[in-house]
Amino acid sequence: MPLKRNTINLGKDLFRSCSGLLSRPLWHLLSHFRGSGTVLCYHRVFPHEDDRFLSTADFSIEPCFFEQHLAYLCSRHNVISMDTLVAALKGEETFPPDAIALTFDDGYSDFKDYALPLLEKYSVPATVYVCSDFLSGRGRLWWHDLDDIVGVGGPIIFSWEGQEYNFNSTGDANRSLVYQQLRSLFIQTDTSLYENLIQTLFNSVGISSELRGSVKMMNWKDIKKLDENSLVTIGAHTQTHSVLSSLNEKRVGEEILNSRLLLEKALNRSVIHFAYPFGTEVEAGKREYTIARNCGLSSAVTLIKKHIFPKQIDLYAIPRFHVPRRASSVNRLRGMISGLELKSLQQFQ
């Protein structure tokens, strides 16, 4: 199985590496694959100075690469806001050719320090989806806590809800696997139990939970300042960054609506765009789409990898492509946007 998995991953990497090069001369022939546009999802933009094991590093790119992305996008695409995208999907505006919309999830503090100056340099609009608990200094960034726990290396042995777990995180390959297994455990756990679970994991590796807090999020003051910038649109991203599919219908509605209302109160204006945490079909489906619609929003974005085909798009299930660290090069970005990479990788599913 490991050999088969490694072979498949190698094949995927080869297709990803080649798709950008192949798409360049074929660009105008690929409109069938890429539709009318693409929504890109970033999380963090900051200099990578930490050599520790970090599974979450794939959710960030360095400023120099982000600037290359912006330069390329501005030269070949129409970069539009979510407001313009939604208006075009509703038929209220003409859909600009080769449209791209940029979004950022969670509300990391490095957005204002590194991403925003570059967005301003190239006059590129972006939507920032934020969790209200994070803005208040609450919430649990457990995916970053897992980096500290798994990065210790060695055995991780603990009991949780009547089940015994025994992981070995020695070596980067094992750490990556263990990280994904622990991530799955959190995805399946109720948000109210996150604090207990993370404390259990810290205890299992013999380190203090006081290590937490190295990753900074924006606060309410930051968001109010950002909202004054004409290039930035603030959107909601729930209160606690919960896996919505794991909650009952009432709690899903509270997570979505309350996050929106808190932002509207702070910004003194309507907040009409929303992003589902994690965002795949596993974490948000038809039930969540309906609830988002009933909360009075104009749009909601997923992390389902698809391009924009206006006649096929549900405004409450708009697809997005996450831009990982391994796709930092413009060549890889071009392949992602072209649709050729996605079409090619389907052969390996």
Query: Does the predicted model carry a pTM greater than 0.95?
Result: no
Q: How far is CA 51 from CA 54, 57, 177, 217, in A?
A: 8, 10, 19, 21
Comparing 102 with 28, the larger pLDDT belongs to: 102
State which H helix or E strand residue 108 sits in.
Answer: none
DSSP states of 162-196 as a string? TEEEEEE--SHHHHHHHHHHHHHHHHTS-GGGHHH
In the structure encoding, which two tokens stand for residue 302, read together?
A: 């997923």
Q: Which of the pair, 342 or 283, is modelled with greater confidence?
A: 283
For 44-68, what is the mean pLDDT?
83
Domain(s) of CATH 3.20.20.370: residues in the chain: 36-138+216-326
As assigned by CATH, the class of the 36-138+216-326 domain is alpha beta
CA angle 199/220/290 to nearest 5° reads 80
Residue 2 has pLDDT above 60, yes or no: no
Confidence of residue 327 (pLDDT cuts 50, 70, 90): confident
Q: How far apart are CA 46 and CA 336, in angstroms?
A: 22
Sequence-distant (≥ 6) Cβ neighbours of residue 150 within 8 angstroms? 53, 55, 156, 169, 175, 178, 179, 182
Find the mean pLDDT for residues 294-308: 95
pLDDT band at 5 (very low <50, low <70, confident <90, very high): very low
Reply yes or no on whether the pLDDT at 51 is more than 60: no
pLDDT interval class at 329 (50, 70, 90): confident
